[in-house]
């Protein structure tokens, strides 16, 4: 297991290097001058050129790329153009809020998805099954940029039950977490149902039923755990989508996380900060996939023996 973990960690190096190269290239293809964005449209050409020199933007792109990669090798993400502080520091200040939102969204997804999937499998082909899958289909069909404002209009503006934006208490977290977790819960519910139906055909479930266990107890005590293998896979793969979804959700609800920081950095043409935020999301995605692989052995001992 240790050799497997080390090998997977080493494989993340070329992945992150590829992401860094792609982001660096695309950023410099986007129209706009960071120096002009910082000084304003009324700035003189000499002032803009002077600031470009201070930021190192007057050098050839290959030289800028080499410096960028050399900094990454030393764990240095650079200095933000806008804040004049280390990029790692800016991301670190907002990381707890993003992790809080992502964890709450995944919790919402699990709480909604597992019961819906189990109910759909237990009552396959009935009206209950159809209702559960219809609810999951609605979750897939509603994008974050539409669901977020809708929830804000209904529960914040209309009913006044929840705050519309910002942070402070758990009530501020409800709408962003529900917005972000809805689509994920829909995918997990359908996967839980399909996986559980496969496990219900296995001999060990039939043996449990033969020993006198009811269908629901046989499902909960025996089939459900093994059926979670593909669910955990989807959950791990979708964690990257959750982090990407925080970009939209945090912007809608003015949540001070890494996603909103990325949007602000893009608008300000803050190259180091944009690169740092995207690399952070990519690194998180890769590490979560590694944790998913390690979780297989815990959920299903047969994998460890293989």
Whole-number pLDDT of residue 210: 67
Whole-number pLDDT of residue 79: 83
Whole-number pLDDT of residue 221: 66
The label of the residue with tokens 């896979």 reads 233
Whole-number pLDDT of residue 14: 82
Backbone angles phi, psi at 86, to 5 degrees: -60, 140
The pair of structure tokens assigned to 72 is: 């990454």
Q: 70: how many CB neighbours lie within 10 A of its CB?
A: 10
Contacts of residue 15, defined as CB under 8 A and 6 or more positions apart, other chains included, come to 282, 286
Whole-number pLDDT of residue 305: 47
SS (H, E, C) 237-274: HHHHHHHHHHHHHHHHCCCCCHHHHHHHHHHCCCHHHH
pTM: 0.74
Helical pair 87-122 and 224-252, crossing angle rounded to 10 deg: 130
Whole-number pLDDT of residue 218: 67
Backbone angles phi, psi at 79, to 5 degrees: -115, 135
Nearest one of 218, 208, 216 to 115, comparing CA atoms: 216
Would you write out the chain's pLDDT as a tens digit for each of its 306 residues? 566 667 767 777 787 788 888 888 887 777 777 777 777 777 777 777 777 777 777 778 888 888 888 888 787 788 888 888 888 888 888 888 888 888 888 888 888 888 888 877 777 778 877 787 787 777 777 777 888 888 888 888 888 888 887 777 888 888 888 888 887 888 888 888 887 777 776 666 667 666 666 666 667 666 776 777 777 777 777 776 777 777 888 888 888 888 888 888 888 888 888 888 888 888 887 777 777 666 665 555 555 545
Domains of the chain in sequence order: 91-257 (1.10.3720.10)
């Amino acid at each position: 297991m240790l050799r497997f973990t080390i090998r997977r960690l080493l494989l993340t190096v070329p992945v992150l290097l590829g992401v860094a190269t792609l982001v660096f290239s695309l950023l410099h293809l986007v129209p706009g001058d960071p120096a002009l964005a910082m000084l304003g449209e009324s700035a003189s050409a000499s002032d803009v050129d002077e600031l470009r020199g201070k930021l190192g933007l007057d050098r050839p792109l290959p030289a800028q790329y080499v410096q960028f990669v050399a900094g990454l090798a030393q764990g240095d993400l650079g200095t933000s153009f806008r804040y004049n502080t280390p990029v790692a520091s800016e991301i670190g200040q907002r990381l707890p809020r993003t992790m809080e939102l992502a964890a709450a969204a995944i919790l919402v997804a699990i709480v909604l998805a597992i019961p819906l999937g189990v109910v759909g499998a237990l009552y396959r082909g009935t009206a209950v099954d159809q209702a559960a899958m219809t609810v999951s289909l609605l979750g897939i069909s509603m994008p974050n940029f539409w669901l977020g404002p809708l929830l804000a209009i209904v529960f914040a503006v209309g009913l006044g039950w929840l705050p519309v934006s910002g942070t402070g208490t758990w009530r501020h977290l409800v709408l962003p977490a529900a917005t972000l977790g809805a689509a994920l819960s829909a995918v997990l519910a359908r996967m839980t149902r399909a996986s559980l139906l496969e496990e219900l055909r296995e001999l060990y479930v039939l043996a449990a039923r033969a020993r006198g266990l009811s269908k629901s107890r046989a499902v909960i005590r025996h089939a459900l755990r093994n059926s979670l293998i593909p669910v955990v896979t989807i959950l791990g793969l979708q964690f990257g989508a959750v982090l990407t979804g925080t970009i939209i959700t945090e912007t809608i609800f003015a949540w001070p996380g890494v996603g909103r920081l990325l949007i602000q950095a893009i608008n300000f043409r803050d190259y180091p900060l944009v690169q740092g935020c995207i690399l952070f999301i990519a690194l998180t995605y890769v590490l979560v996939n590694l944790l998913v692989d390690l979780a297989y052995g815990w959920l299903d001992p047969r994998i460890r023996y293989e």
